[in-house]
Structure 1
């Protein structure tokens, strides 16, 4: 698999990314569109979902990513592997997630992952982070009862902010008082693997839609 090199940081507040995406026809995106859906917000190169889709053919997988060249590359890999339960979309989740999820049949969205999002360290840039209160509300409205949200970051301040925003919404219940020691997903992301190899911590929180 060849790698496309793109800018590491993209400002989601720039004018280029302010037009919400038009939802696709889900009946043509997946071979079996009624299967439960796993949504990965900020999927990067998409390798996590590639392996998840191979391991769990009875689920559909959707990756959202704001860097368009990575989406094009990931969809080429998907086609080469013949995965009919996987799709990637280029969009800004902060303004496109609502329309996308509203276009899905009720009850399909059952699992969400937000893993190692761009930390935007400077205070004036933190409004660019993906997990804003509006995103939490959108997911609360779309996620089926009993569905899960997994948050992961190697930056504690970012993990705390994400965790607290889901904690503050009454529709979500955190499953562990402390950070999760292990990843409940069967596939780690590349960032998780490299972080753990360096001996650095990963901060995880798992929520259920109640």
Structure 2
């Protein structure tokens, strides 16, 4: 039943959705192909780790703190973050390659040198991309919910991901989580808090997006008055 409601809401959103004017990027700027909404990360083709890029070619100022956005989707959130915070570097990792290619094209159009998008299965590639302490901030926003119980193992926040982030994040670094599906949000939080290196300084959810920049899904949910479940955790 919950999956049916989610599909109905998505259809309503797609029928009349818009994005905030500050993106400067039309919502329907085309990919030139039909894009699958969900990709099974357990398929054999996604089990090969993605090697790290030449970071010195990606970022103009390599020494800036690095924000990792896991499941970056279209990339509009991260592009705006890069504009608002030029003293940070940003990396979006996404499993749908056409979205990555389009986001990097948008980055080039905007002339940004502190943001990059990478095609990868993050659960397979994370430890291959970074060294301990490389990350200063992580966001995981509105990941694919995979409602059916037999598909829960496809969800992005798994114990291995949490353990890898505990190693790669600097002490005191935040992890921001949000979803419009309560069960998904609570499962993500539980997975992180099961690891001794993460804690919730707020002892529960938070009301607002602390960055003030919504993802497309977040903007659409706000327009429809749908609930959003947000959590701000920290690496000890």
Bin the TM-score by the shorter chain: over 0.9
- The TM-score normalised by the length of structure 2 is 0.86
Aligned residues: 207
Residue aligning to 2:4: none
Residue aligning to 1:188: 214
How far has the Cα of 1:178 moved from its partner?
Answer: 2.3
Residue aligning to 1:54: 83
Please, which moves more after superposition, 142-151 or 176-185?
176-185
Deviation string 1:107-148 (CA, Å, 9 cap, x unpaired) is 441100000000000000010000000000000000001111
Distance in 2 of aligned mates of 1:85 and 1:199: 33
Distance in 1 of aligned mates of 2:172 and 2:77: 23
Deviation string 1:84-103 (CA, Å, 9 cap, x unpaired) is 0000000001101111123x
Whether the aligned pair in 2 keeps the contact of 1:18 and 1:92 (CA below 8 Å) is: yes
> Which of 1 and 2 has greater Rg?
2
Residue aligning to 1:96: 125
Residue aligning to 2:44: 15
Whether the aligned pair in 1 keeps the contact of 2:133 and 2:167 (CA below 8 Å) is: no
Unaligned runs of at least 5 residues, structure 2:
1-24
Distance in 2 of aligned mates of 1:190 and 1:122: 24
Structure 1 residue runs of 4 or more that deviate by more than 3 Å after TM superposition: none
**What secondary structure, in the 3-state scheme, does the structure 2 residue paired with 1:109 have?**
coil
Distance in 2 of aligned mates of 1:124 and 1:80: 42
**What secondary structure, in the 3-state scheme, does the structure 2 residue paired with 1:195 have?**
helix
How far has the Cα of 1:204 moved from its partner?
Answer: 0.7
- The TM-score normalised by the length of structure 1 is 0.96
Question: What's the Cα RMSD here?
Answer: 1.0
Residue aligning to 1:3: 30
Unaligned runs of at least 5 residues, structure 1:
none
Residue 133 (str. 1) matches residue 159 (str. 2) = yes
Whether the aligned pair in 1 keeps the contact of 2:170 and 2:235 (CA below 8 Å) is: yes
